[in-house]
Amino acid sequence: MTESNRRSGEYEYGAPQGTAHEGTYPQHGTYPQPGAHAQPGAYAQQHSYTAPSPVNPEWPPPPPYEPPTAVAAGPVPGPEPKKKRTRGPIALLAAVAIVAAAVGGATAYAFQELTGTDTAVTAGATTNVVPSSKQGNVAAIAAAVSPSVVEVKATLSNGSSTGSGVIITSDGEIVTNNHVISGSDSIRVRTSDGKSYPAEVVGTDSSKDLALLKLQGASGLKTASLGDSAGVQVGDTVVAIGSPEGLTGTVTSGIVSALNRDVTVPTSESQGQGRGDGQWPFQFGGRQFNGDTGSSTTTYKAIQTDASLNPGNSGGALIDASGNVIGINSAMYASSQQSSSSSDAGSIGLGFAIPINTVKSDLAKLRAGSGS
């Protein structure tokens, strides 16, 4: 009965009967043969350790120790290297935003040039046109900005008018006052290097006393940097550049005297145009200056300055200490007695400029060819 139980699993781990290996085992130990009774203590005498008797003496006993685990050949594994972070779209956008913030307003103009908008207008951004070590230096400001200011000469049916303008694109877009060119038959613009170009009116806005001209055949002109008039403060140093009395490229300096002054100017083409003295009428503080503004007028908020402005400065640039244009000079008081009294000669320090943010917000309308 016992023998039968043994043989029921006899070849579970051994070789089948009838093979060359039947009943054979490794020679390093003595094991009971099939069909034979196990000899107590025989296995223990052959080995230096005591192991429990197998359930089936015909099976080989376990080895005296666990075989070593096979290790694949290769370098000894070290600490797992850190995974490289993938720079996805969010990381890329963040990097671009940081670079863009560091570069600031200077990149805005370059971007617009590359994308074909051909304009120097920036939204709420300024740049240092002059080196930071020379901010507020009138000579440095004049040298940097004068090439961007032009003389505008309009021929009228009853005479002519002379004013100034500011270059805002390299192919010849010019911002000036509406009252400088209103009612003109032809317009010519002279740049700081003496070149003269015919110009056409692209659009006008009499409610803001602004006009946009386009020079014919111009390219490679130096554009002005349009600043942010919202940051202007009373007492800031300013420089004015224009063509008073036809003296192209005249530079004067002063400070910002006041902000948000209500200045009223005529909107009628016939009012105040073609006057030989070039004194455009305006109204301020309930008083009329340089004649009667008439019944058709418009009022805007202006920057007041004591920088010397004279007839011919209209449409020229008012510039901050960094060389950015913060206003378009538009109205100034000129005594009607200048020619007869030396005591009244020259500017009395009462000038006004249209804030440059007003100009920038109106450019789309002017470029669309609107006339009002």
What is the tens place of the pLDDT at every residue in 191-238? 999 999 999 999 999 999 999 999 999 999 999 999 999 999 999 999
Pick the catalytic residue from 161, 225, 314, 322: 314
For residue 76, what are the contacts with CB-CB under 8 A and spacing of at least 6?
none
Q: Where are the beta strands (DSSP E) in the chain?
A: 149-156, 159-167, 173-176, 184-190, 196-205, 210-215, 237-242, 250-266, 282-284, 287-289, 297-305, 317-319, 325-332, 351-355
Q: Is 228 a residue of the active site?
A: no
For residue 241, what are the contacts with CB-CB under 8 A and spacing of at least 6?
142, 145, 146, 149, 164, 249, 250, 251, 316, 317, 319
**What pLDDT is stored for residue 293 in this prediction?**
83
* C-alpha angle 281-175-187 in degrees, rounded to nearest 5: 75
**What pLDDT is stored for residue 115 in this prediction?**
37
**What pLDDT is stored for residue 200 in this prediction?**
97
Q: Which long-range contacts (CB under 8 A, 24 or more apart) does 188-194 make?
A: 188/153, 188/155, 189/150, 189/151, 189/152, 189/153, 189/165, 189/213, 189/215, 190/150, 190/151, 190/153, 190/248, 191/147, 191/150, 191/167, 191/221, 192/146, 192/147, 192/149, 192/150, 192/248, 192/249, 193/147
Q: Is 320 a residue of the active site?
A: no
Positions of the chain with pLDDT under 70:
1-127, 268-279, 334-347, 370-372
pTM (2 decimals)?
Answer: 0.65
C-alpha 114/C-alpha 101 separation (Å) is 19
For residue 102, what are the contacts with CB-CB under 8 A and spacing of at least 6?
none
**What pLDDT is stored for residue 7 in this prediction?**
47
Pick the catalytic residue from 146, 179, 225, 257: 179
Pick the catalytic residue from 164, 182, 206, 209: 209
Q: Is 28 a residue of the active site?
A: no
Residue 79 DSSP SS3: coil
